[in-house]
Structure 1
């Protein structure tokens, strides 16, 4: 008797319209401002100049002969191996004898080192170098002092602040690409200084050429600790996944992202755990359901400590949202077959989204009138499992009622992927 093949497949996703992935923060930029104690009135802004993104310091008076821009205080950093500081500088309308002093300070504002570059060129970009004595620590504040300005209302532009190490390598400390997002601490977060510090550190980063990473320490055994962005209005309805590079000192504390939609607080993500301590790991969180319906007004990255894990450190870098869009097309080598004959089932799949899919399971039910006579090859996937009785197992069994293939990583835009298995008609 000829039997018709009856199969069912769990995943058949329609194509979707989506936006390109969006980098929320790569933590490559610091906060700078102009102190007002006694120096020349000035404005500090992020601007575009000569096809560069820069920090711009403009004097709006001539009362004093100098002006200063200062970094927001940051968690203390170890500069013991730094021998040189460099930055691309352009100065307009400065006096011929103008100088630019670079100052490193500790977390109480005390001066560690000050190095002066004399006779700053006027009207041209210059790679300015300050040779510093190694051993500077703990650095928590930076000043640029623009001195000898004369009676001119002048403008300085700053780009690509980098540190040269004793071994000759260069690390970027600030790209000056854009104004920082303004992360603040929330919950049981340790304050580093009394001066509302920046929750960003260059001590740890996913790349030595990268400027830094978001950072906090947590304390106490209850509650939570997180970095937060508030007072925003983001439309993320076309995204379904958030990923970030995360590092923590404790693998037993859950890490999560929480989204708020005004008064709505249902945007709490699933918990993720680090696989090892003090090691960068790329993690993925499905965006909460409310993201598709409401504008995001706050988002928070943090941890939820437990009573047994009362303190530690947390770093986050490269926060990106995007769209995972896995589609599957199923086919069989025959639509109908005789008892005892074999039919090959093929699952062709792709990811048309702009973000990689991780730990994807392609699960198929075995038709009631069929069984799997032999172990299936992995194909484009990484492993195969069989559902026998009430549990999944790695070993092949003709008693399996379902089969699933696990693909640990499907790249964005990947296509032409497939897995297959053989069924035999009873």
Structure 2
């Protein structure tokens, strides 16, 4: 018994078709390991509590599926505990098709959609109809500020769930969300109209060639990935192939600090490790840091030549066929991204869980969603989403290798949980940013 949604939805016929179409290997790992995805975690509970609608499918006596849309105020679908959902059914529905179907077949499928953030949660369960005589349960399900009369309630006992691929979900916004976006743009425009504080440009003080290392590079591209994160493309000045690297490798690049001293900083190589034409590093500017990232943001420019150290790797990816669990916090995605691309290239089994302060501050998020599809899970603190390390590490298979890169708090928490779960050190590989 493994992933409960897999065990229910991926029947032998479906599995045979997946094999025939070449996708079975990517799903086979879902069926292995202990029972999971049958108990709602804080992540699912928070997601459902924010939804103001969902789609509900039942099965009729004729064997035909019946799909219905249900809407209400955010949170009208109540999460009662880790395996039970429920909602009140108010007067006004005159067809009673779903209710009639549930009398003879209590199976149900639910789709919860988050259109602005391109996310969806699929749930399979069994329905229990709650009559008006069961007032203690109905009280838990009704919305006190909704005036209609409650005719019945529905409890849904969760059998399994799965987060679905964000690809092809068209972003849609409610009127309130549009107004919020417009207000934010207006406030941003107002801030931009004010005279900014002058920032001294020290890039002119940098020489044409910086550093003393053996590897010659030139800055050939710059991209703003997020408000404080900028990517730099580095190539050989003569267009030659660069030294080969593996996923997890880092580059030590020179930085001319504001006090005039030459320093160096370590940055993960975020580009696809299969590339030999260029390296890409992504740098988070930290005004309260040691000054290296801020100086790099000010001084690195197109055409600047660097003498860097040759790449090194102290966070290497395993080469055997074991599955991988990748976890990134904030700028830690730079080390994890190359691992995800390498694993995808060899059609390995893996998931990437990426947490950040907000979606707008998460470097490479859109690119990874296109490249990884349903293997990527994103958690935005601004949207109330939380990376549940306990659940992730608990659900990881006994042979899964776990990689985590991020701030000290995240790494320390993972170590604590790993000790509690007796996860061997060989299976937990960490890199932190201090």
Q: TM-score, normalised by structure 2?
A: 0.21
Higher alpha-carbon Rg:
1
Greater RCO, CA 8 A, separation 6+: 1
Give 1 or 2: higher helix fraction. 2
| Higher strand fraction (1 or 2) | 1
TM-score normalised by structure 1 residue count: 0.21
